C-alpha cells in the first residue's frame, strides 16, 4: 500500500491524523487567549525559544497551528506562520527580515495593495526597484550588493503576467538572495514555488485556499531552501536558542507576528481549514470554467483583449503550461471602446460585482476605477492595465449559466 497520498486525501485527513481531542475529525476551535503551566520553567522555556508551546495567542494558538501545518503540507515546506490577512503576511515578512540599508527587487506587476505597502516601505527608507519580472534579465540587472530579497507573484493580478519563476530562482540561488513568491493566484494545488527554489511562499488564505469568501487569512511558508544561518539580519538573541533552519521563521513570528499583531483568529483558522479540504475540487471546476469563458471572449467582437494564460495569444502561454497544473481562475478582459464597462457590469445578473477573488461565486470588478485607482493612469499603463479592463474571478457555477449571463450583457 502506497504511503504517499494525493493532494485532497492528504488535506482532508490532516487534522484527524494529528489526533485532535476526543477523536474529532477537525482540530477544535481554541478560543483561549492565554495558557497556564504547572511548571513555570515550561513557560520560561517557551519564551526563550527552548521548547514549543503556547503562552499568549497573539503569536500562537492550537487551532491556528493546525492550519499552519496544513498549509505547510500543501506547499511541501518545513513550517508556516498564519496571519490575519495575506497583506499582514507580506508586511510582517518584510518588516521582520529587511533593514533600512537593504535593497529589494520586486515585480512591477504586483497587486495594488502589495505595491502600496512596498511604496510605504520606500517612504520609510528601504530601497526597492520594480522591474518587469517576466524576464530574469530585468531582475539580474536590478540586483545590487545589498539586495536581500526578490519578491514576485506567480500570476499577476489583474493583467496575468507570469514571472520568469524558474530562472529567477536560479539567479537568487546563485547570488544567495532570499526569494519570496506570492502563490495566491495559483494556490498550492496548481503550483508549488519550492520547485523553482523559492525561499518563502506567501498565500492569501482568504482566496482559493479558504475559497468561500467567509474568512480572512494569510500565511508565509518556509521551504527550507534558504541559508538562514548566514543571513545577516537575524536577531543575535535567536541564534543561541533556535536551530539554524528555523531562524528566519522565528524572526517572522516574533518580530512580524507578535510585535506587529496581525494575528489570525481561531474561528477564522477553523473556517479556512475546512474550506481548504475542497481546494482541488473547486479549482478544477473554476479553471475549467475560466478556460471556456476565455475562449468565448477571445472570439467575441466586443472584447478587445483577453488576459488569461490559457489563451494562445498570452505572452507566457507556453510558460504557464510548463509551470502550472492548470491556468487558474483569474482573468481580465478589455472591452471595445464603444462599451461602457460600468454599464456592462450592471447588466450582469448572476456574476457578483465584488472586489474579492478566489470565491466559489464568479466575481467581477472594474479595475482602473477601483482596486488600482490610487496608482493613477500613468502607473496603470506601466502595469498593462487599460482603463476599460474588467477583472473576473471565475467560480464554480454551471458553465452554461455563466455564458448566458455574459452573452446577455454583451447584447446577444
> What's the rounded Cα separation, in Å, for the pair 137 and 159?
21
pLDDT at 374: 81
In a domain, 344, yes or no: yes
pLDDT, tens digit, for every residue of 26-53? 999 999 999 999 999 989 988 888 888 9
Alpha carbons within 13 A on the beta-carbon side of 174: 10
Look at residue 45 and tell me if it is in a domain. no
Q: Give the Cα separation of 117 and 90 in Å (integer).
A: 9
| pLDDT score for 241 | 77
Q: CA-to-CA distance for 36 and 34, rounded, in angstroms?
A: 7
Tens digit of pLDDT for each residue in 78-100? 999 999 999 999 999 999 999 99
Average of pLDDT values for 364-383?
Answer: 86
Beta-bridged to residue 374, according to DSSP, are none
Instruction: Report residue 385: phi and psi, to 5°.
Output: -110, 105
pLDDT the model gives residue 75: 98
Q: Assign residue 346 the CATH number of its domain.
A: 3.90.1150.10
4-22: average pLDDT: 90
Mean pLDDT score of the chain, rounded to an integer? 95
d(CA 157, CA 109): 7
pLDDT at 145: 98
Residues 177-194: pLDDT tens digits?
999 999 999 999 999 999
Question: Quick one: cell of 244?
Answer: 539554524
Give residue 390's domain range: 279-410
Residue 168: per-residue pLDDT: 98
Q: What is the pLDDT of residues 304-357, one digit of tens each?
A: 999 999 999 999 999 999 999 999 999 999 999 999 999 999 999 999 999 999
Q: Strand (E) positions, 248-329?
A: 303-307
Each residue's pLDDT tens digit, 58-67: 989 999 999 9
Q: What is the pLDDT of residue 2?
A: 64
pTM of the model: 0.95
Nearest in space to 133 (alpha carbons), one of 94, 158, 106, 112: 106
Q: 307 in a domain, yes or no?
A: yes
Please give the pLDDT value at position 21: 87
Give domain status of residue 65, yes or no.
no
Determine contact, residues 105/50, Cβ cutoff 8 Å.
Answer: no
Number of domains forming the structure of the chain? 1
* C-alpha dist (Å) from residue 296 to 177, 218, 273, 333: 42, 33, 35, 11
In-domain check, residue 210? no
Is there a domain that residue 29 lies in? no
pLDDT for residue 95: 97
Specify the DSSP class assigned to residue 254: I
Q: In which band, very low, low, confident or very high, does the pLDDT at 372 lie, cut at 50, 70 and 90?
A: confident
Mean pLDDT, residues 257-264: 96
pLDDT tens digits for range 142-156: 999 999 999 999 999
- Say yes or no to pLDDT of 1 above 70: no
Name the band, by pLDDT with cuts 50, 70 and 90, for residue 240.
confident
Strands 303-307 vs 330-335: parallel, antiparallel or unpaired? antiparallel
Q: Is residue 183 part of a domain?
A: no
Helix (H) or strand (E) run with residue 204 in it = strand 200-204
Amino acid at each position: 500500500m502506497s504511503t504517499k497520498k494525493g493532494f485532497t486525501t492528504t488535506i482532508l485527513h490532516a487534522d484527524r491524523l494529528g489526533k485532535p481531542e476526543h477523536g474529532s475529525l477537525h482540530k477544535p476551535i481554541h478560543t483561549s487567549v492565554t495558557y497556564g503551566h504547572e511548571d513555570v520553567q515550561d513557560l520560561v522555556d517557551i519564551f526563550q525559544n527552548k521548547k514549543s508551546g503556547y503562552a499568549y495567542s497573539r503569536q500562537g494558538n492550537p487551532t491556528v497551528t493546525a492550519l499552519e501545518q496544513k498549509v505547510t503540507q500543501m506547499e511541501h515546506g518545513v513550517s508556516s506562520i498564519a496571519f490575519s490577512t495575506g497583506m499582514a503576511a507580506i508586511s510582517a515578512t518584510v518588516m521582520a527580515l529587511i533593514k533600512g540599508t537593504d535593497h529589494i527587487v520586486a515585480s512591477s506587476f504586483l497587486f495594488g495593495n502589495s505595491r502600496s505597502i512596498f511604496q510605504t516601505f520606500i517612504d520609510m527608507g528601504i530601497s526597492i526597484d520594480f522591474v518587469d519580472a517576466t524576464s530574469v534579465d530585468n531582475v539580474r540587472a536590478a540586483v545590487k550588493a545589498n539586495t536581500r530579497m526578490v519578491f514576485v507573484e506567480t500570476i499577476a493580478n489583474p493583467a496575468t503576467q507570469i514571472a520568469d519563476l524558474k530562472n529567477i530562482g536560479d539567479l537568487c540561488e546563485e547570488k544567495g538572495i532570499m526569494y519570496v513568491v506570492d502563490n495566491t493566484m495559483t494556490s498550492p494545488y496548481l503550483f508549488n514555488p519550492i520547485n523553482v527554489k523559492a525561499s518563502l511562499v506567501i498565500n492569501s488564505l482568504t482566496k482559493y485556499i479558504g475559497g468561500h469568501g467567509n474568512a480572512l487569512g494569510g500565511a508565509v511558508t518556509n521551504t527550507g531552501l534558504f541559508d538562514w544561518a548566514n543571513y545577516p539580519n537575524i536577531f543575535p538573541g535567536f541564534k543561541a536558542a533556535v536551530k539554524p533552519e528555523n531562524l528566519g521563521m522565528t524572526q517572522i513570528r516574533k518580530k512580524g507576528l507578535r510585535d506587529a499583531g496581525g494575528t489570525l483568529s481561531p474561528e477564522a483558522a477553523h473556517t479556512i481549514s475546512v474550506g481548504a479540504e475542497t481546494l482541488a475540487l473547486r479549482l478544477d471546476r473554476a479553471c475549467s470554467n475560466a478556460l471556456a469563458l476565455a475562449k468565448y471572449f477571445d472570439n467575441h467582437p466586443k472584447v478587445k483583449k483577453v488576459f488569461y494564460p490559457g489563451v494562445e495569444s498570452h505572452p507566457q502561454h507556453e510558460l504557464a503550461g510548463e509551470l502550472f497544473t492548470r491556468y487558474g481562475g483569474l482573468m481580465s478582459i478589455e472591452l471595445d471602446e464603444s462599451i461602457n464597462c460600468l454599464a456592462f457590469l450592471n447588466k450582469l445578473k448572476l456574476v457578483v460585482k465584488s472586489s474579492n477573488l478566489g470565491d466559489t461565486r464568479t466575481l467581477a470588478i472594474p479595475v482602473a476605477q477601483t482596486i488600482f485607482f490610487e496608482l493613477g493612469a500613468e502607473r496603470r499603463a506601466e502595469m498593462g492595465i487599460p482603463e476599460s479592463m474588467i477583472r473576473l474571478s471565475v467560480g464554480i457555477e454551471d458553465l452554461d449559466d455563466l455564458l448566458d449571463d455574459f452573452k446577455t450583457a454583451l447584447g446577444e
